[in-house]
Amino acid sequence: MNARSYGQRALLFFVLLSSQAKAHVVSMSTGEIQVDGPTAIYELRMPMYEVAHVQNPRTTLLDHIRFAGGHRTKSECHEDNGMYICTASYEFPALLPDKLEAECTFFQVTVPNHIHLLTATQGKNEDQAVFDQRTVQAELRFHPPSPAEILLRDSTGGAWRMLTSWSGLLFLFGLAIAARSTRDAAALLGVFITVEWLAPYAAPLIPVTFSAKFLESALALAAAYLAIELLFLPDGSGRWIAVLAAGLVEGLLFAGFPRAYLAGAGVVQIAGVAAFLALAIRLPRWRRSFCATLLLLALIRFAGSLLWAR
């Protein structure tokens, strides 16, 4: 069987795998809290298809977002044009200073990859925070953040998400050892990052939904293919398909976040591939094959941990 046939099979496998997805590409809700002295009004907007996962949403949802020192005095929820809208009033023991501490765990009652974008306003000042299963607490400051502060905060968040993603790091290692030269590695990484940046624009057009575990598994599958091609198809071209698929998956993982998150992740990706490549590019063929074998073993261990977590 030639390399092209292997590449076509790899593409078909990604398509079949995606047909088994059972969650939304971007599971997301938005909220806004308006602070006025010692009181505040919070409004939650969540698509009705997300509420389907929640038991007793009228009380459960608001129990999973908390504001430090705030006491909820009243609330009401209703459906409006496909959106579930909850409004709640809060009282604080004293005038709020220039910041508000918030905690959000909507992912516990909706789906594990749920993202909540919270906007806090006080007069003309506002700040935003993004919550998911990795970030459940945030501090919102009531002074206009500078563009540099916003860029630093969001890019740092994106870099941290990348550094804590085992599937993402294993893919970067696979890309480095599968590259046949420095130029080849730069081309592969360029394709990966380009698709990654375009993927969030396509996310609203994708009718199916994906869980975080599915996306992480797909990224690990792409890394596994890179290792397999290095071991059994050293002259194959299927790695380009794997890189395209991985870029799409990684972009969908960041689809609900501000674009600066991707910028921070991109810095880690470039630095990671450069570091791995510096170690791997001068290795003899048999040692690179040994690295590919280690990568496959690590991916098998990673896949096992995902299955065990279920």
pLDDT, tens digit, for every residue of 26-51?
A: 688 999 999 998 999 999 999 998 89
* Residue 88: inside a domain: yes
Report CA Rg, the chain: 22
User: Is residue 220 one of the residues assigned to a domain?
Assistant: yes
Find the mean pLDDT for residues 186-196.
95
Residue 302 shares a structural domain with residue 197: yes
Query: 135 and 42: one domain?
Result: yes
Distance from chain centroid for Cα 36 = 33
State the first-to-last Cα distance of the chain, in angstroms, to the nearest integer. 36
Same domain, 202 and 262: yes
How many Å apart are CA 182 and CA 279, to the nearest integer? 12
Residue 1 is assigned to a structural domain of this protein: no
Q: With cut-offs at 50, 70 and 90, classify the pLDDT of residue 18.
A: very low
Residues 211 and 251 in one domain: yes
The backbone region for 123, taken as left when phi is positive above 0, alpha when psi lies in -120 to 50, beta otherwise, is left
Residues 210 and 280 in one domain: yes
122 and 222 co-located in one domain: no
At 8, the pLDDT band (50, 70, 90 cuts) reads very low
Question: Can you tell me the distance from the alpha carbon of 126 to that of 148, in angstroms, rounded to the nearest whole number?
Answer: 16
**Boundary of a domain, candidates 142, 170, 202:** 142
Q: Does 69 reside within a domain?
A: yes
Domain match, 222 and 114 both: no
Report yes or no on 149 lying in a domain.
no
Selection from 64, 24, 257 nearest residue 161 by Cα: 257
pLDDT at 63: 96
Residue where a domain stops, chosen among 142, 174, 205: 142
Domain boundary among 111, 142, 173: 142
Q: Are 156 and 209 in contact (CB under 8 A)?
A: no
Same domain assignment for residues 194 and 302: yes
Clarify whether residues 302 and 227 are in a common domain. Answer: yes
How much of the chain exceeds pLDDT 90, in percent? 46
Note whether 206 and 135 are same-domain residues: no
Give the count of beta carbons closer than 10 Å to the beta carbon of residue 37: 11
Of the listed ranges 144-153, 155-164, 236-245, the least confidently predicted one is 144-153
How many domains does the chain fold into?
Answer: 2
Which strand ranges, in their side-by-side order, compose the sheet holding 99-104? Answer: 65-67, 99-104, 137-141
The answer as to whether 51 is a domain residue is: yes
The pLDDT score that the predictor gives to residue 295 is 81
The answer to whether the beta carbons of residues 132 and 230 sit under 8 Å apart is no
- 148, part of any domain: no
Round to whole Å and give the CA distance between 70 and 101: 10
Q: Residues 136, 191: one domain?
A: no
- Give the number of other Cβ atoms within 10 Å of residue 80's Cβ: 9
Q: Greater confidence, 210 or 61?
A: 61
Domain that holds residue 48: 28-142
Q: DSSP characters for 224-249?
A: HHHHHHHHH-TT--THHHHHHHHHHH
Clarify whether residues 100 and 177 are in a common domain: no
Residue 114 lies in a domain: yes
pLDDT at position 123, please? 87
Report residue 19's pLDDT band, with 50, 70 and 90 as the boundaries.
very low
Where residue 178 falls among pLDDT bands split at 50, 70, 90? confident
**Res 307 pLDDT > 80:** no
Mean pLDDT for 123-145 is: 88
